Amino acid sequence: MCPPDDLNAEARRHAERFQRVREAHQTELAEDYVELIAHLIEETGEARVVDLAGWLGVTNATVNNTIQRLQRDGLVTTKPYRSIFLTDAGRELAEQSRKRHDIVREFLIALGVDSQTADIDAEGIEHHVSSATLKAFAKFVNKARRST
């Protein structure tokens, strides 16, 4: 009797979007960690638990837990009481995250947001930007650059 009702279709689409956001959440922390680890290795030669804890604003114990999970997931390697290294997968994820982060940050600045706010917001936004949107951001940055 009922026509295939559009309300359900809308609900379904909505639900899909939510599932996607939930999935993104699961990779956020991993991205932040590998990005930071790559940065520390580049800048200081090594990544230690205590440094990560300081940069992330959490305790050493928390970092340790998380590193175990990242190791389980094949993103980092480490031996007891030693510093942390990225696997190939970890390095790749780190590189990709860094690029995205930079584009988002530059985009916000090009849009007229002050650089401190850009730093803060980029940290949250970067994990939720699809490649299509990222492309649009990059295009805008380039256009803004050319016109100055």
Q: Which residues bind to a second copy, rule: CB under 8 A?
A: 8, 11-21, 24-25, 32, 36, 51, 54-58, 108, 111-114, 117-121, 123-125, 127-130, 132-133, 136-137, 139-140
Q: Does 76 bind DNA (CB under 7 A)?
A: no
Query: 106-109 long-range CB contacts below 8 Å, 24 or more apart?
Result: 106/141, 107/137, 107/138, 107/140, 107/141
Do residues 97 and 131 touch, judged by C-beta distance below 8 A?
no
Instruction: List the x/- string, 33-52, binding to DNA by CB under 7 A.
Output: ---------------xxxx-
Q: Does 62 bind DNA (CB under 7 A)?
A: yes
91 binds, among DNA, a second copy, none (CB under 5 to 8 A by kind): none
Of the listed pieces 34-42, 78-86, 100-108, 132-140, which binds DNA according to CB under 7 A?
78-86
77 forms beta bridges with 85
Q: Does 115 bind DNA (CB under 7 A)?
A: no
* End-to-end CA gap in the chain: 62
Instruction: Outline where 57-130 has alpha helix (H).
Output: 60-72, 88-111, 115-125
Do residues 105 and 119 touch, judged by C-beta distance below 8 A?
yes
Q: Which residues bind DNA (CB under 7 A)?
A: 22, 25-26, 28-29, 48-51, 57-62, 64-69, 78-83
